[in-house]
Amino acid sequence: MNNQPAVPGPDLLLRTLAEFRYELRRFLHFSECAALEAGLQPQQHQLLLQLAGAPENTALTISYVAERLGLKHNSAVELADRSEREGLLERTADVDDKRRAILRVTRKGRLLLGRLAGDHAKELNELAPRLTKALKYISFNMHRSTDAEAR
């Protein structure tokens, strides 16, 4: 007789992963709609958020933006150009490397981010229990699955 707890089947894990992905997509959809309502394209919102939320002493360059947003360099340049034209960010020459520019969110960009931040925090607060439950389930059962395979 085996006293080990049964490892849940793959169907339950797949359902949990599907539910987690669904909740993430709902949040992303909310975020995209909120950005559009605030007068920003969703990618501009993400650009401003990454710049404003970067750790101190981070070089806020096009390369940084491209990496954080998963964009090719030229796409990040176009996004920064459009955002600069709209007064959401500005560029200054890097004092250490004249070949690159440092990006900075303008007052206008910060005001828009501020309006969006509260709504996003509220939405995440409502979503957190469902995401946390799914993450805990996935983590717990991955450890149980690994332990069972080791036996």
pLDDT tens digits, 29-42: 999 999 999 999 99
pLDDT grade, residue 151 (50/70/90)?
low
Instruction: Judge whether 51 lies within some domain.
Output: yes
Residue 123 in any domain: the answer is yes
Asked whether residue 110 is assigned to any structural domain, the reply reads yes
CA distances in angstroms from 109 to 26, 94, 126, listed in the order given: 25, 21, 26
Check pLDDT > 80 for residue 121: yes
Query: Domain with 105 in it: what CATH number?
Result: 1.10.10.10
- Per-residue pLDDT at 9: 67
pLDDT of 127 strictly over 50: yes
Residue 4 domain-assigned? Answer: no
Q: How many domains does the chain have?
A: 1
Residue 10 confidence (pLDDT): 75
pLDDT band at 141 (very low <50, low <70, confident <90, very high): confident
With 0-12 / 13-18 / 19 or more C-beta atoms within 10 angstroms meaning exposed / middle / buried, residue 125 is exposed
Please check whether residue 16 lies inside any domain of the structure. Answer: yes
Does the residue 5 lie in any domain? no
Q: For residue range 56-83, list pLDDT tens digits in order.
A: 999 999 999 999 999 999 999 999 999 9
Does 43 map to a domain? Answer: yes
> Per the domain annotation, does 28 fall within a domain?
yes
pLDDT digits (tens, 9 = 90+) for 3-19: 554 555 678 888 888 88
Q: Identify the domain containing residue 139 by its residue range.
A: 10-146
Is the C-alpha dihedral spanning 102, 106, 112, 113 positive or negative? Answer: positive
